[in-house]
Amino acid sequence: MLYNSSNSTINDCLIYNNYDAGIQLNSSFNTTISDCSVYENDYGIFFNSSLNNTINLCSVYDNYRHGVVLHSSSNNKISVCSVYENDYGIYLYSSLNNSINNCLVYRNYYGFHFESSSNNTISDCSVYSNNYGLWVSNSLNNIISTCCVYNNYYGFRLKFSSNNIISDSSFYDNDYDGMFLYNSSNNNINACFIYNNTYNGIRLCPYSNNNIIKNCRIYNNSYGIKIEFSSNNNSIHHNGFINNTIQAYDECINFWDDGTEGNYWDDYSGSDTDNDGIGETPYTISGGANADNYPLMHEFTWWDTEKPIILVSPDNNSVIKPNTVIDFDIKDDNLRNATCSINNGNVTSFSSPYDISTEGWADGTYSIMIYAEDWGRNKVSKTFIFIVDSIPPTISVTGVADNAYYNADVNFLIEVIDANPYTLSGELNNVSFDPNATISVIAEKNYVLFVQATDKAGNTAEKTIVFTIDKTKPILSDISPATGTKTADSMITVSGKTETDAVVKINGINVLVSSDGTFSKEITLVKGDNTITITATDQAGNTNTQTITVTKTEEKEKKGFIPGFESLTILMILVAAILLRRKRLK
Average pLDDT for consecutive 10-residue bins of the chain (586 residues)? 79 93 94 97 96 98 97 98 98 98 98 98 98 98 98 98 98 98 98 98 98 98 98 98 98 98 97 94 97 97 94 94 94 94 92 91 96 95 95 95 95 93 93 91 95 94 96 95 94 95 95 95 94 96 96 68 58 70 62
**Do 38 and 16 contact (CB within 8 A), yes or no?**
yes
DSSP state of 230: S
Q: In sequence order, what are the residues at sequence separation of 6 or more whose Cβ sits closer than 8 angstroms to the Cβ of residue 286?
A: 246, 247, 248, 249, 250
**Residue-level pLDDT at 5:** 78
How many angstroms from the chain centroid is the CA of residue 320?
A: 17
Going along the chain from its start, the domains and CATH numbers come out as 2-292 (2.160.20.10), 309-388 (2.60.40.10), 394-469 (2.60.40.10), 476-552 (2.60.40.10)
**Residue-level pLDDT at 4:** 72
pTM here?
0.73
**Residue-level pLDDT at 561:** 47
CB atoms within 10 A of CB 121: 15
Dist CA 145 CA 471 (whole Å): 94
Helices (H) and strands (E) in the chain, counts: 1, 61
**Residue-level pLDDT at 518:** 96
**Do 280 and 272 contact (CB within 8 A), yes or no?**
yes
Phi, psi of 578 (to 5 degrees): -65, -45
**Residue-level pLDDT at 405:** 95
**Residue-level pLDDT at 583:** 65
